[in-house]
Every structure is written in C-alpha cells, then in structure tokens.
C-alpha cells in the first residue's frame, strides 16, 4: 500500500498496547514514518515523562507544541511535532474557552478536579479526548498520533466517552463525551494501531484488547504493529564441524560447541516467535506491520529513523484492500 495513502486514511492514529511492548517508541516511529511519507505528524501524549522527547534526542514536550524533527529532512519530508496534554491543562483551557475563566483557575488550583473526577470517573479522559478532538478538527492535513496511557489503561481510556454518556446526562461534559465518541467511532477520523511483541502473554492480551475495542466500543483498528521481530536465523542443515572443514577453518571443540549453543538459542527463540506470529495471524485477522528488534540500549533519533524506514517498507508490502477502513455497510 502506498504510505501516503496509508497515513491519510484517518486523521487520528491512536497507538495502544500493554506496558513493555514499546508503545511510545512505536508512536515515535509512526510519526516519523508519516513525516517521511510527506505528511506532518503531531504526536500527542497524555502522560508526562514517557520519554517521547528522548526518542528524538530532544527535551520532553510540554503542553505547548514543540518540534521533534524539522521538516525537509530528507527534502519533501514533513515535520514531527509533539505536545503533552494533562487533564488539568485541558480543564483550564476548556473552562476558559467557555467563559469560566475565573472559576477555572480556582478549580485547578484547589485540586477540585480530583474530586470531580472521582464523582464522574472518565472525566479526565473526556477532557483529554476533547482536546484531541479539537486538535483533530484544527489540523486536517496532518496526522495526529496519540500515545495512550501506559499500564493497560487504553481500553478504559477509550471507553470513557460511552461510560460518561450514561452517567452525565446533560451539560457540556455530555456534549464533550458525545463528540469524543463520534470521533472515536468514525473510521475516517480515527484508527487504533495496537502494538504487541511476538511473545505469549503480549499476544494473548492484544487479541483480547482488539476484540474489546472493535466489538464493544466500535473503534476501527488499523494494522497491528508487531514490535521487536527478530530476523530468523538461516537454516543450517550441516554440522558446524563439517562446515569448518569445508571452509578450511580450524576450530577447537570448544569453539564448535559455542557456535552450536548460540545457534540453538537463536533457533529456539525463532521458533517461539514464529509460533506466536502464527497464533496472532490465526486469532486476529488484521494485517501486520513488523518492526525489527533493535538494540534496546538507547532508542534515540537514529533508531527511530531506522525503524520508520522499516515501517514504510512494511506498509508498502501491505495489501490495501485489507487495510483501508470501511464504514459498516461497505464491502
């Protein structure tokens, strides 16, 4: 599929996944890949210090937009910018916009949000989604990438609008919730990209999450991003000793044993991975984007760019018919 079309398929891409699967890195990579495909990308995180800035060797973004990758690198490429949204900031802005300037400061300062958020859970999420909706409305030609909260709260975060519609029947919050729900359930506006890694528990969890999002919440899913996919080792049918002899290389028994040990380990890991990828394909009928395993020591600008190129290759290889979101009655 043409990456330009891929990144234009919806205006908001929500990246979700359990802790430890590299969700923030994938968000960064997605934004950078979009910028390489000539689309500006705005990364939105709803949690402070997730290390998004570090992924670009920059300072951590705050509530105001900051630039993480300048446009035109390479020529024609879009920019990557970022904002960190907090419910408190969103509340103050919301109330100010609604002519409640004076009270908003008092609310925020007194910590009232905590009481109000407890009285109506999901209100923080609505405030954040309300702000995301506003950004989505304001920016028709850029891709919004939303990095959802860590620690497995993605589903409850995305469920908040439906939940609040029930508990708050009238007023501005009700309107916000309704608008947020409309945003989330419109496949032309929103797609969720789930992230996982080819290991047992992450695969089990992503399958569950996918069905929850699609069936319970009616949110369209984009391709599944499988992170940390190792290149399988080449098949070796011949014993190491024989290979060495043929090549005229003298190896000690210890050295041969070391090679065999290393090869067996890689082979075993590759089998686990193949098994989990197969299970994933069987249990979750979604196209997959694979990202290679890179050194985890420090995922910075260089690795993000490398992974973005791998993502673009993977997108190029996708069959468009399996990717483009369709409205309910379309085929």
Partner 1 sequence: MNEPLADAERWGLVELLSGHDVVICAGSGGVGKTTTSAALGLAAARAGRRVVVVTVDPARRLADALGLGSGGLGDEPVRIEGVGPGELWAAMLDPRATFDRLIARHASPDQAERIIANPFYQNMADALSGTHEYMAAEKLHDLAGDERFDLVVVDTPPTRSALDFVDAPTTLTRFLDHRLYRVLMAPTRRMTRAVGVATGAFVRTVSKVVGASVVEDAVEFFSAFEGLEEGFRDRAHEVADRFRSPTTAFVLVTAPRADALTEARWFAERLEAEGIDIRAVVANRVQPRPMSGDPGRFREVARSQAGTSLGDLCATVIELCDGSDSETALLADLVEAIGGVPLVTVPVLDRDVADLAGLEQIAAALYGTA
Residues 108-167 that bind partner 1 (CB under 8 A): 110-112, 114-123, 149-152, 167
Indicate whether 244 belongs to the interface with partner 1 (CB under 8 A): yes
Burial class (CB in 10 A: 0-12, 13-18, 19+), 217: middle
* Contact criterion met (CB below 8 Å) for 195 and 21: yes
One of 258, 316, 322, 326 touching partner 1 (CB under 8 A): 258
Minimum distance, C-beta of residue 52 to partner 1, in the bound complex (Å): 11
Stretch that binds partner 1, among 128-136, 215-223, 289-297, 306-314 (CB under 8 A): 289-297
One of 97, 182, 236, 322 touching partner 1 (CB under 8 A): 236
Phi, psi of 182 (to 5 degrees): -60, -40
Minimum distance, C-beta of residue 246 to partner 1, in the bound complex (Å): 8
Total of residues contacting partner 1 (CB under 8 A): 71
Indicate whether 233 belongs to the interface with partner 1 (CB under 8 A): yes
Nearer to partner 1, 31 or 318 (CB): 31
Indicate whether 174 belongs to the interface with partner 1 (CB under 8 A): yes
Using CB under 8 A as the binding rule, the residues of this chain from 188 to 227 that contact partner 1 are 200-202, 204-205
> DSSP character for 209?
H
Minimum distance, C-beta of residue 34 to partner 1, in the bound complex (Å): 22
How far is C-alpha 71 from the chain's CA centre? 22
* Contact criterion met (CB below 8 Å) for 172 and 120: no
Nearer to partner 1, 8 or 116 (CB): 116
Q: Percentages helix, strand, coil for the chain, rounded to the nearest 5?
A: 50, 15, 35
Minimum distance, C-beta of residue 48 to partner 1, in the bound complex (Å): 9
Nearer to partner 1, 119 or 317 (CB): 119
Nearer to partner 1, 162 or 251 (CB): 251
Q: Where do we find the tokens 């009700």? A: 174
Using CB under 8 A as the binding rule, the residues of this chain from 46 to 75 that contact partner 1 are 47, 51
Using CB under 8 A as the binding rule, the residues of this chain from 297 to 316 that contact partner 1 are 297-299
User: Is 245 strand, coil or helix?
Assistant: helix
Longest dimension (CA), the chain: 83
Q: Over 113-182, what HEC string results?
A: HHHHHHHCCCHHHHHHHHHHHHHHHHCCCEEEEEECCCCCCHHHHHHHHHHHHHHCCCHHHHHHHHHHHH
One of 59, 188, 296, 320 touching partner 1 (CB under 8 A): 296
């Amino acid at each position: 599929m043409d990456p330009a079309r891929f990144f234009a398929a919806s205006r908001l891409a929500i990246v979700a996944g359990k802790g430890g699967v590299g969700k923030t890195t994938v968000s960064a990579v997605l934004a950078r890949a979009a910028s390489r495909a000539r689309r500006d990308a705005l990364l939105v995180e709803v949690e402070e210090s997730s290390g998004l800035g570090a992924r670009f060797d920059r300072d951590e973004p705050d509530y105001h937009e900051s630039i993480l990758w300048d446009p035109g690198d390479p020529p024609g490429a879009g920019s990557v910018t970022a904002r960190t949204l907090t419910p408190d900031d969103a509340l103050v802005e919301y109330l100010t916009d609604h002519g409640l300037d004076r009270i908003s400061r008092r609310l925020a300062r007194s910590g009232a949000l905590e009481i109000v958020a407890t009285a109506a859970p999901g209100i923080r999420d609505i405030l954040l989604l309300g702000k995301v909706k506003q950004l989505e409305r304001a920016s028709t030609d850029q891709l919004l990438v939303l990095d959802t909260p860590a620690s497995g709260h993605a589903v409850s975060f995305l469920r908040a609008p439906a939940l609040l519609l029930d508990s708050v029947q009238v007023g501005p919050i009700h309107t916000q919730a309704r608008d947020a729900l409309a945003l989330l359930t419109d496949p032309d506006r929103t797609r969720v990209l789930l992230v996982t890694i080819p290991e047992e528990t992450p695969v089990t969890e992503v399958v569950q999450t996918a069905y929850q999002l699609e069936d319970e919440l009616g949110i369209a899913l984009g391709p599944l991003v499988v992170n940390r996919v190792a290149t399988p080792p080449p098949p070796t049918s011949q014993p190491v000793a024989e290979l060495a002899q043929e090549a005229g290389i003298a190896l000690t028994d210890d050295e041969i044993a070391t090679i065999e040990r290393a090869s067996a380990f890689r082979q075993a890991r590759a089998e686990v991975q193949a098994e989990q990828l197969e299970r994933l394909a069987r249990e979750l009928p979604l196209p997959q984007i694979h990202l290679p395993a890179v050194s985890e020591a420090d995922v910075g600008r260089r690795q993000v760019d490398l992974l973005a190129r791998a993502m673009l290759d993977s997108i190029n290889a996708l069959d468009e018919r399996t990717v483009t979101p369709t409205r309910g009655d379309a085929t």
